[in-house]
């Protein structure tokens, strides 16, 4: 019997000024049925796992679309519909199938579709009927909806932020769905709405222990899988907000109980979990007091991975105003400036207008005299086992002691190799500013004397209570102290 696999997703920041169309998918990942013939990326990794696992069980694999777009604003309607329909056409042609495994994000919004994943799962269910097992893997920054729960048999989300575990979760989902197809388990799911919006960094306590606690329940007493959807705070959709999700073997009531129990535990930790954030000036002050070495400052508000433009200049302006030197900062998404630098060539000195171009949340452009120190066509950076594209990338040095790395394909900073591939020696800088919220952490933590999360102006506010939602109707923490759903 056949296993059908596909991928369609993006994380939609409905407040972002950047439209998501076919170009963004093509630039990030777009394969029409042959993703597993190429190197695994962050987004295609699960498909590789599923193909390998299914073939080990002598199952035939039918592979459809694999499309993923760097997070940005709302997806253009006809682009979503075209990709969805390609998957559905492939599925119809592949029928009968036994298992459908689909890798999605869980926070994709298109024009006219606030819940793309729910829509896609409902369309898949309509084709395959009630008996085929449908498994969905989601990023933990997802909004779990009723339509998703009604149409999937099993949903598994990443457990780790930074996302170091998509392939492990893919195996987890495969194992449950495969067992379900054999009839040896009957997956039942339940969610518990936490009514909270927060940032949960899983390498740190108390989240580290909470993830271990979730995993300790799996495989015992009929609990098959435990997920926590952290939610994506910048999606103006009815389901925005964190949820616990539990899958059990044929016991919905138990799934509900475990989800609620874990929900209470995470609710009790809400204050302890909240990431400490500092202002730009506080961060620069802390950097002067940190131990010797490189201090890493995360420009959280301009993280391309959350749909921000990655060209904001608020931190850069402040660095210049305070005469701060020995600074490296990136990645600035500025294809025009990159083009100028490539034209000028390494060693050239030129007047360069940098950043501040995408909208009010980008600030204003900064004009600097810079020397081009390094250039690279089609750069890459690693993230866990995957290789990710940066587009053309250049290293420029300003006359006032600030080095910047600009690139042509919008992406956040994942790993130090994004800088070192240009010949940059990170150890020579006192301050390294990375435009990222948390994915930089695994790569930079080993080389950082200290790390501070900077909550400056930009697209991604850290003040979750102030996000102007129009579609969520239920109160949530921290907008209100007590949404009234938990024991105090
Ligand atoms: Zn995520």
pLDDT, tens digit, for every residue of 123-167?
999 999 999 999 999 999 999 999 999 999 999 999 999 899 999
Centroid of ligand 1 to alpha carbon of 306 (angstroms): 8
65-124 pLDDT per residue, tens:
999 999 999 999 999 999 999 999 999 999 999 999 999 999 999 999 999 999 999 999
Nearest-angstrom CA–CA distance, 382 and 361 = 28
Query: What pLDDT is stored for residue 486 in this prediction?
Result: 74
Is the confidence at residue 55, as pLDDT, over 90? yes
Supply the mean pLDDT for the chain.
Answer: 96
116/133 Cα distance (integer angstroms): 20
Tokens 């921000």, residue located:
308
> For residues 86 and 91, what is the distance between their CA atoms, to the nearest angstrom?
9
What is the Å distance from ligand 1's center to 463 Cα?
A: 18
Which among 190, 200, 271 is positioned nearest to 231, based on CA atoms?
Answer: 200
Q: How confident is the model at residue 488, as a pLDDT?
A: 53
* Superfamily, domain 2-273: Response regulator (3.40.50.2300)
Distance (Å) of CA 393 to CA 107, 187, 230, 367, 451:
29, 47, 32, 19, 25
Q: What's the mean pLDDT in 397-402?
A: 93
Cβ neighbours of residue 481 under 8 Å, at least 6 residues apart? none
Q: What is the three-state SS of the chain?
A: CEEEEEEEEEEECCCCCCCECHHHHHHHEEEECCHHHCCCCCCCHHHHHHHHHHHHCCCEEEEEEEEEEEEECCECHHHHHHHHHHHHHHHHHHCCCCEEEEECCCCCCECCECCHHHHHHHHHHHHHCCCCEEEEEECCCCCCCHHHHHHCCEEEECCCCCCCCHHHHHHHHHHHHHHHHHCCCCEEEEEEECCECCCCCCCCCCHHHHHHHHHHHCCCCCEEEEEEECCCCCCCCCCCCCEEEEEEECCHHHHHHHHHHHHHHHHHCHHHHCCCEECHHHHHHHHHHCCCCEEEEEEHHHCHHHCCCCCCCHHHHHHHHCCCCCEEEEEEECHHHHHHHHHHCCCCEEEEEECCCCCHHHCCCEEEEEEEEEEEEEEEEEECCEEEEEEEEEEEEECCCEEEEEECCCCCCCCCHHHHCCCCCHHHCCEEEECCCCCCHHHHHHHEEEEEEECCCCCCCCCHHHCCCCCCCCCCECCCCCCCCCCC
Name the nearest CA neighbour of 213 among 171, 178, 191, 244: 244
CA 364, 366, 372, 374 dihedral sign is negative
Distance 279 CA to ligand 1 centre (A): 24
- Measure 242 CA to ligand 1 centroid, in angstroms: 13
Asked whether 259 and 192 are in contact (CB, 8 A), the reply is yes
Question: Where are the chain's structural domains?
Answer: 2-273, 277-461
Q: What is the pLDDT of residue 357?
A: 95
Q: How far is the CA of 404 from the centre of ligand 1 (A)?
A: 26
User: How many angstroms is it from 140 CA to the middle of ligand 1?
Assistant: 6
pLDDT digits (tens, 9 = 90+) for 343-380: 999 999 999 999 999 999 999 999 999 999 999 999 99
Å from CA of 435 to ligand 1 middle: 15
pLDDT band at 247 (very low <50, low <70, confident <90, very high): very high
Question: Which residues are CB-neighbours of 233 under 8 A, at least 6 positions away?
Answer: 197, 199, 240, 460, 464, 467
Centre of ligand 1 to C-alpha 14, Å, is 15
For ligand 1, the distance from its centroid to the CA atom of residue 438, given in whole angstroms, is 10
Quick: pLDDT tens for 7-34. Answer: 999 999 999 999 999 999 999 999 999 9
In the reported structure, the alpha carbon of residue 414 is separated from the centroid of ligand 1 by a whole-number distance in angstroms of: 13
Confidence of residue 386 (pLDDT cuts 50, 70, 90): confident
């Amino acid at each position: 019997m056949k296993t059908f696999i596909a991928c369609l997703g993006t994380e939609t920041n409905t407040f972002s000024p950047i439209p998501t169309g076919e170009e963004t998918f093509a630039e990030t990942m777009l394969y029409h049925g042959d993703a597993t013939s190429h190197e695994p990326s962050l987004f295609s990794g699960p498909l590789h796992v599923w193909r390998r696992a299914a073939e080990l069980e002598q199952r035939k694999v039918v592979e459809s679309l694999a499309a993923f777009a760097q997070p940005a604003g709302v997806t253009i309607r006809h682009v979503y519909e075209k990709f969805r329909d390609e998957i559905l056409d492939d599925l119809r042609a592949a029928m009968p199938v036994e298992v459908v495994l689909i890798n999605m994000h869980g926070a994709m919004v298109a024009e006219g579709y606030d819940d793309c994943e729910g829509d896609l799962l409902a369309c898949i269910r309509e084709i395959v009927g009630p008996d085929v097992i449908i498994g969905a893997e989601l990023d933990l920054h997802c909004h779990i909806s009723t339509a998703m729960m009604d149409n999937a048999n099993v949903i598994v989300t990443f457990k780790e932020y930074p996302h170091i575990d998509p392939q492990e979760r893919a195996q987890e989902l495969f194992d449950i769905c495969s067992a379900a197809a054999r009839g040896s388990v009957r997956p039942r799911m339940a969610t518990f709405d936490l009514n909270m919006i927060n940032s949960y960094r899983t390498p740190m306590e108390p989240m580290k222990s909470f993830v271990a606690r979730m995993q300790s329940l799996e495989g015992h007493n009929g609990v098959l899988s435990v997920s926590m959807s952290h939610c994506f705070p910048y999606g103006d959709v009815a389901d925005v907000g964190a949820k616990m999700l539990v899958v059990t073997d044929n016991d919905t009531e138990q799934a509900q109980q475990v989800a609620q129990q874990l929900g209470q535990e995470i609710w009790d930790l809400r204050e302890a979990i909240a990431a400490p954030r500092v202002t730009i000036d506080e961060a620069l002050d802390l950097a002067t007091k940190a131990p010797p070495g490189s201090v890493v400052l995360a420009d959280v508000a301009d993280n391309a991975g959350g749909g921000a433009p990655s060209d904001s200049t608020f931190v850069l302006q402040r660095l210049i105003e305070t005469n701060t030197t020995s600074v490296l900062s990136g990645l600035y998404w500025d294809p025009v400036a990159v083009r100028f630098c490539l034209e000028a060539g390494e060693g050239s000195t030129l007047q360069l207008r940098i950043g501040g171009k995408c909208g009010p949340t980008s600030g204003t452009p900064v004009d600097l005299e810079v020397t081009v120190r390094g250039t690279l066509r089609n750069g890459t950076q690693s993230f866990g086992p995957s290789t990710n594209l940066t587009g053309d990338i250049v290293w420029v040095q300003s006359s006032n002691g600030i080095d910047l790395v600009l690139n042509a394909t919008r992406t956040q900073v994942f790993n130090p190799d994004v800088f070192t591939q240009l010949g940059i020696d990170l150890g020579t800088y006192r301050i390294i500013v990375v435009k990222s919220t948390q994915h930089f952490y695994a790569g930079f933590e080993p080389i950082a004397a200290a790390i501070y999360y900077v909550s400056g102006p930009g697209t991604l506010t850290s003040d979750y209570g102030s996000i102007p939602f129009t579609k969520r109707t239920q109160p949530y923490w921290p907008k209100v102290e007590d949404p009234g759903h938990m024991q105090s």
